Amino acid sequence: MNEFALETTLHWAGVAFYIAGVALFAHALIFAHPRRVRWGLWATLAGLLPHAAALVVRYVAVGHGPYMMKYEVLSSNAWIAIAMLLLFVWRRPVWAPLALLALPASILMVGFGLFTNPEARSLPPALRSLWLVFHVLFNKLAVGAFLLSAASALVLLRKSRGATGRMLDRLPGPGVLEAYTLRFVGFGFVFWTTTIGAGAIWANQAWGRYWGWDPIESWSLVTWLCYALLLHARLFFRMSARGVAWGALLCFTVSILTVLIFPFVFPSLHAAYFQ
């Protein structure tokens, strides 16, 4: 079996376990078997292993980390998001319904990545920097945290409308959901700040300037400002829980546009790395 066939098989094995994880989470929550949430966790964890192995095989094959093509970027983003989800639900099983939103979104990310061009691309000399590792790693952590905040915001919107159900009833009330939405936003904000800082230091090392209003640099600042706006609005104004949820969803949209859409749309120093 060649390397590409191996990593594709490992990827699909991961996806199969994730799908099983979603089914087990749904079973545990719909049929009110809270102890079986652990089954879903184990199945998802079992998916993380072949998924991680696929990323390692890719790393060995192309000689660089997962930051050059949609295929690599989406797969590694999904891995980080799922790992963060597992970590959180492991510690707070009451939040298991979050998995029913975040896990399918991550599966879609992996699936979409698998259908894009998997051709390996060599790493340009400008990308051979330790700061790139920090820049990319914290960016993925930020996306994972923002994904969880968006999932939490969606549940919050449902609950604040008075929706009930076996799954929804198991989740905390709107007040706690709002606090956790903001907590995820806070984590993402810190990671995003680190992403921008590491990118600026690396740009200074490679190009002699730490900020150049490159379109993706500008959008990363816009994303940071959007989240800062949400946090300030929540802090200073009588913003309702629904307002916070909508704000978190809008900010998440901007962050996804910045990370996954705009690099394909605008000519930018960052564009070449994802295509």
Partner 1 sequence: MTIAIAYPMKPPPPLHLKRLLRSPRLIVGELAALAGAGACGALLPELHIFLNPWFGALTLLIAVSLAIVVGDQLRVLLRSGATTRRVGAAMLHAGLLLAIMAGALRALFATEAVVDLVEGETLPATAAAWSGQFPGLLARPFQLQQPLTLQAVHGRRYPDGSLQKLSAQLSAGELAVNRDLSLAGGRLFLASDFGAAALVEWRPGKREAALLDSHSREATSIGPHALRAHLRALRDRPESVEVRVMRGAGLLYSGVLHPGETIGFAGGEALTLHALPLWARLRGSRDNSFWPVCAGFALILAGSILLFVKFPLARAPSAMMPTLQPAGSLPFLLMAIVCVSSGCSSREKAAQLVTRYNEVVSEAYRRGDVRLIDPVVGPNEGKKLAGLIGVRLDFGLTLDSQMLALEVIDIDRAKNEMRVRTRERWRYCDRRIGSGERSGEESTDSYEMLYVFKKSGKAWLVDEIQFAAPPKVGRQTTTWVADRAALRDVAGRSRP
Is residue 87 part of the contact set for partner 1 (CB under 8 A)?
no
Q: How many CB atoms lie within 10 A of CB 219?
A: 21
Ranges of beta strands (E only) in the chain are: none
Candidate list 226, 241, 248, 252; residue touching partner 1; CB under 8 A: 226
CA distance 225 to 185: 12
Ranges within 105-134 binding partner 1 (CB under 8 A): 117, 121-126, 128-129
Is residue 229 part of the contact set for partner 1 (CB under 8 A)?
yes
Is residue 239 part of the contact set for partner 1 (CB under 8 A)?
yes
Output Rg (C-alpha) for the chain, integer angstroms. Answer: 19
Is residue 218 part of the contact set for partner 1 (CB under 8 A)?
yes
Closest CA to 138 of 84, 62, 195, 94: 195
Q: How many CB atoms lie within 10 A of CB 217?
A: 20
Do residues 102 and 148 make contact, with C-beta atoms less than 8 angstroms apart? yes
- The smaller minimum CB distance to partner 1, of residues 92 and 122, is found at 122
Is residue 92 part of the contact set for partner 1 (CB under 8 A)?
no
Is residue 160 part of the contact set for partner 1 (CB under 8 A)?
no
Only one residue has tokens 């749904």, namely 26
Is residue 249 part of the contact set for partner 1 (CB under 8 A)?
no
Tokens describing residue 160: 């604040």
Do residues 98 and 155 make contact, with C-beta atoms less than 8 angstroms apart? yes
Q: Per-residue contact track with partner 1, 176 to 195, x per CB under 8 A?
A: ---x--xx-xxx-xx--xx-
Is residue 36 part of the contact set for partner 1 (CB under 8 A)?
no
Is residue 73 part of the contact set for partner 1 (CB under 8 A)?
no
Is residue 257 part of the contact set for partner 1 (CB under 8 A)?
yes
CA of 16: how far to CAs of 8, 21, 53, 139, 245, in Å? 12, 9, 15, 26, 31
- The smaller minimum CB distance to partner 1, of residues 12 and 266, is found at 266
Do residues 96 and 29 make contact, with C-beta atoms less than 8 angstroms apart? yes
Tokens describing residue 144: 């994972």
CB of 88 to partner 1, least distance (A): 14
CA of 158: how far to CAs of 148, 177, 239, in Å? 16, 11, 17
- The smaller minimum CB distance to partner 1, of residues 60 and 265, is found at 265
Candidate list 48, 243, 256, 260; residue touching partner 1; CB under 8 A: 243
Q: Which of the stretches 3-11, 31-39, 47-55, 175-183 binds partner 1 when contact is defined by CB under 8 A?
A: 175-183
Do residues 84 and 144 make contact, with C-beta atoms less than 8 angstroms apart? yes
Give the total of residues touching partner 1 (CB under 8 A): 63
Residues that bind partner 1 (CB under 8 A): 117, 121-126, 128-129, 179, 182-183, 185-187, 189-190, 193-194, 196-197, 200-201, 204-211, 213, 215-216, 218-219, 221-222, 225-226, 228-229, 231-239, 243, 246-247, 250, 253-254, 257, 261-262, 265-266, 275
